[in-house]
C-alpha cells in the first residue's frame, strides 16, 4: 500500500509560559465542569489531562462525573492527536495524566510516565456522508481512484491502524488529505469535503445524523487500545494516580461503554 501517512526536561520560568501557550495551541482545552471545594470555594487540586482526540466527548462526561464524586478536584482536558500529546510531554508541558489511543505512543514515553493501565478499546469503521451517497460497502471500495478518501496521518494512531487494515487487504489508497487526528478526518467527511474516511466507531457514533458508518468486519479490523498513565512531572501525583485508577473502575467503565468503547 502507498500511504505517505512522530526525559521531561526542567523548564525555566519563561519557558513554562511558552509551553502553556503551546498546550493550548496544539489541543482543545476543556474544563470538565464543577470542581469546587466542599465549602464552595476554590478547587483544592487542579489536574490537567492530555487525552487522545477520540476521547473528546466521553471524557467531558467522565470528567463531570469524577468532579461530582470528588469535591475539591478540578479537571482540565487537552485533546489532540496522540503524537501531538507525546511531543508536549517531551517538551515538558505542565500536565498530570496522559491517555493515548495506542500503546506504541505510550511505550515511547516510559521514562516520563508511571505504569500505564489500559482503560478501553475501540474499532475502526468507514465514515461516509449521511445516507452513504457513494454506496460504500467495505474497505475495497476505498481504493476507487474516483473516491475522495481522507485518512489520519501515519504518525497518528488512527492512521497507523488504518494503514494496518488496508495493507492486510492488499489495498492501495491515495487519500486526498492526511489529518493530524481522527476528529479532523471525521470533520472532513461531515463537511462533505471527503466521500469517506476511516475513523473509530465511537467517532462516527458521536456524529449520528451527520455521517453514516460502514462496519469493518472484525477479521479485517484492528483493535485500538487506550492506555492511561500519570506523568512523573506532575505536581499532583497522588490525585493524578487516583484519577487513573478511577478510569478503570466500574463508574468510568460504564460511561466508556455507553459511548461505544470496548472494555479493556
Ordered domains of the chain (ranges, CATH): 13-121+225-258 (3.40.190.10), 122-223 (3.40.190.10)
d(CA 189, CA 195): 6
pLDDT score for 30: 67
Bridge pairing between strands 223-230 and 177-179: unpaired
CB 156 within 8 A of CB 226: no
Give the tens place of pLDDT for each residue, 23-71. Answer: 444 455 666 764 444 445 567 999 999 999 999 999 999 999 999 999 9
Average pLDDT of the chain is: 89
Calculate ∠ Cα 89-205-248, nearest 5°: 50
Among 263, 237, 239, smallest CA distance to 249 is for 263
CB 1 within 8 A of CB 172: yes
State the helix-helix crossing angle for 250-258 and 56-69, rounded to 10 degrees.
Answer: 150
Mean pLDDT of 200-220: 96
The answer on pLDDT for 230 being more than 70 is: yes
Mean pLDDT of 161-171: 97
Question: pLDDT band at residue 258, thresholds of 50, 70 and 90?
Answer: very high
Q: Model-level pTM?
A: 0.84
pLDDT score for 32: 72
CB 35 within 8 A of CB 193: no
The answer on pLDDT for 205 being more than 90 is: yes
The answer on pLDDT for 76 being more than 60 is: yes
d(CA 191, CA 148): 13
CB 223 within 8 A of CB 121: yes
Residue 83 CB contacts under 8 Å (≥ 6 apart), including other chains:
6, 105, 155, 156, 157
The answer on pLDDT for 209 being more than 60 is: yes
Q: Rounded to 5 degrees, what are φ and ψ at 193?
A: -85, -10
Amino acid at each position: 500500500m502507498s500511504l505517505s501517512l512522530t526525559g521531561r526536561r526542567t523548564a525555566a520560568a519563561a519557558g513554562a509560559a511558552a509551553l502553556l501557550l503551546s498546550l493550548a495551541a496544539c489541543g482543545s482545552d476543556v474544563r470538565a465542569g464543577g470542581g469546587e471545594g466542599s465549602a464552595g470555594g476554590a478547587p483544592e487540586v487542579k489536574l490537567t489531562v492530555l487525552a487522545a482526540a477520540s476521547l473528546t466527548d466521553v471524557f467531558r462526561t467522565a470528567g463531570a462525573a469524577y468532579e461530582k464524586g470528588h469535591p475539591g478536584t478540578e479537571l482540565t482536558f487537552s485533546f489532540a492527536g496522540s503524537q501531538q500529546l507525546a511531543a508536549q510531554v517531551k517538551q515538558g508541558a505542565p500536565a498530570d495524566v496522559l491517555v493515548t489511543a495506542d500503546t506504541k505512543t505510550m511505550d515511547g514515553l516510559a521514562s516520563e510516565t508511571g505504569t500505564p493501565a489500559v482503560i478501553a478499546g475501540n474499532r475502526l469503521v468507514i465514515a461516509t456522508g449521511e445516507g452513504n451517497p457513494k454506496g460504500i460497502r467495505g474497505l475495497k471500495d476505498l481504493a476507487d481512484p474516483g473516491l475522495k478518501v481522507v485518512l489520519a496521518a501515519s504518525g497518528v494512531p488512527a492512521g497507523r491502524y488504518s494503514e494496518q487494515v488496508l495493507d492486510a487487504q492488499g489495498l492501495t489508497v491515495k487519500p486526498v488529505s492526511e489529518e493530524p487526528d481522527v476528529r479532523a478526518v471525521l470533520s472532513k467527511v461531515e463537511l462533505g469535503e471527503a466521500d469517506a474516511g476511516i475513523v473509530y466507531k465511537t467517532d462516527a457514533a458521536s456524529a449520528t445524523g451527520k455521517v453514516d458508518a460502514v462496519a469493518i468486519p472484525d477479521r479485517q479490523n484492528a483493535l485500538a487500545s487506550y492506555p492511561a498513565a500519570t506523568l512523573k512531572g506532575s505536581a499532583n501525583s497522588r490525585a493524578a494516580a487516583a484519577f487513573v485508577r478511577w478510569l478503570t473502575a466500574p463508574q468510568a467503565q460504564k460511561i466508556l461503554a455507553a459511548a461505544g468503547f470496548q472494555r479493556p
